[in-house]
Amino acid sequence: MAVPMRRLMEALRFMLLFVTCALLSYGIILLLTDHVLPGNPYREPNGNAVKVVKLINGPSPQDGSWYAGRLQLFYLVGE
């Protein structure tokens, strides 16, 4: 059973149109992503930035019981 040339050309044209539209939409999404998202969100902030987390009476690195207690609290309450 032979496939007519006209049917084959329609399928090829459809595939070409599909790939073109897919690449075009991908490019538009990339442009929108670059426009909306910041360049480097982890860069050092400018101005009068303050560090949010500061341990005043933090544990020493050798004190493993504090970490075990925090892990247990996390498992119990989800904090």
pLDDT attached to residue 55: 63
The predicted pLDDT at position 11 comes to 94
Give pLDDT, residue 19: 98
44 or 5, greater pLDDT: 5
Structure token digits, residue 18: 């599909």
Q: Is 78 exposed, middle or buried (0-12, 13-18, 19+ CB in 10 A)?
A: exposed
Residues 68 and 59: their CA atoms lie apart, in Å, by 12
Nearest one of 1, 23, 21, 3 to 11, comparing CA atoms: 3
pTM of the entire predicted model: 0.48
Q: What is the pLDDT of residues 20-71, one digit of tens each?
A: 999 999 999 999 988 888 777 777 777 887 666 656 666 566 667 777 888 8
